[in-house]
Every structure is written in structure tokens, then in C-alpha cells.
Amino acid sequence: MEFTSEQRLDGDVVEREFTLGEIPGTLWTPGSAGPLPLILMAHNNGLPRREPRLVARARKTAAFGYAVATIDAPGCGDRPRSAAAEQARADLRRAMQAAEPVDEIFESLVGPLVENAVPEWRTALDALLDLPGIEGPVGYSGWTALGIRLAVTEPRIAAAGLFAGGYVPRAQREEARQVGIPLLFLLQWDDQGNPRQRALDLFDAFGSKEKTLHANLGGHVGTPWFELEDGGRFYDRHLK
């Protein structure tokens, strides 16, 4: 892991850009001394790690006393995009605008994204836990499909906060039954891009004995900021 830049932000949070082979990423750490628990923060399929909402969440979460890290998955952010994925994204937008069925297009796009992203996130996790002052436990926050796959394949992840999405690949809907870690599931009640009932069915499918659903009025990007503070308390219970 090679750090390429560093800046100190308000609240004594340090933000560092890094590269890990071909993988670009960002690490935020608080001014407090370690050992620090770690939260992996992933944005939804295809959005870059510098997306303002993710950056704002990461900085605030670091200020709560966590190391927070994110990476650009294959085909995301500054990384090269495949022609097939770009065509699938265009087909998906067109189908949604026309109110046509999107399940098969979605599978062709998001299924491979999850498969390609998980090994890189696990590689990044290895490197992050080798850094001085970061010892875990490890939490996850963000993209539901990726979080499900990581939860069932990566035993170091102890708790996960997921942003509910009705469109989750079939493989991850099945894997949800194997998830046993504590979960906080955030649902936007009026998210037109994600069928509400599918999100509720997914929550019901999770095998976790401790799982909490927070539902708020509003559209896809309308998650209230107070949920970030509630999320901090959730991670405090399970990572500190």
C-alpha cells in the first residue's frame, strides 16, 4: 500500500489517498490514538469513492473514532470501464425510464460487479489491518449486494450497516440467509428506483439474530443525517 497524499480536516481527521497495486482508495483516521476499529465504506454499483455523500459519511464516521476506508472497485471511479458494463448501464437506464422489466439487465450488470469487487476489498482489508494503529474489529457500511457477499465470505467483518435496495442479484438474495452478523438496514420508503417490498423481503431473509430496520420517508438520496449518528451508536455497540 502506497500513500499518495495526505490532508488534515476539521475535527482532526486525517484523509489519505492510497494505491494498492491497481486499486485506488482513501483512508480516513481520527486524531485519537489507536488501536482503531475499521469500517469499510462502499458506494453503490459504479459510483466513485470521491462521491460527495460517501466522503461526508466517511469523514463524520472517522470523527466518531473509527478508521474508515473505501476503494474504487473494478470499473468504478477513475478505473477503466468495460464496454459491456457501460452498455448494461445504458440499457438499465432506458428500461427503467420506459417502465420495462429490468431484472435480467440488472443481473448482467451488478452480478459481475460484485464478483469482481469482493476479492479486491479483501485484499484491501489485509493491507489496512497491517497498518500501525488499525487492529479492528471490522465493520461494513454501504452497498447492500457487496455487503452481503463480504458478510458471508469474510469472517473478520463483525457488523454491517446496509442501504436497502430492492434490486439485489439473485445470488446475494440467497446468500442473505447465511448472514449472521448484526445488521442495521436503512430503507427509504419512497425510493422509486428500488421496489419497497423486495427490500422488506430481503430484510426478512437475513439470518442475523440481531437485525434492525430503519425506514424513513423520502427518495433514494434522502436518508436523514441523524441516521449517521444512529449508525455510529450501532457500530459502537459491536466494534468498540
What CATH number does residue 134 fall under?
Answer: 3.40.50.1820
* Residue of 104, 51, 39 whose CA lies nearest to 76: 51
Per-residue DSSP letters for 51-89?
A: -HHHHHHHHHHHHTT-EEEEEPPTTSTTS---HHHHHHH
User: What is this structure's pTM?
Assistant: 0.92
- For residue 207, what are the domain limits? 2-78+117-239
Residue 173 lies in a domain: yes
**Residue 95: what pLDDT?**
87
Residue 188 lies in a domain: yes
Give the number of domains in the chain: 1
Residue 201 lies in a domain: yes
116: three-class secondary structure by DSSP: helix
Instruction: Render pLDDT for 170-197 as a digit per residue (tens, 0 to 9).
Output: 999 999 999 999 999 999 998 877 788 9
Residue 108 lies in a domain: no
**Residue 45: what pLDDT?**
63
Residue 31 lies in a domain: yes
pLDDT mean across residues, the chain: 90
Residue 54 lies in a domain: yes
**Residue 166: what pLDDT?**
62
Instruction: Render pLDDT for 195-234 as a digit per residue (tens, 0 to 9).
Output: 889 999 999 999 999 999 999 998 888 888 899 999 999 9
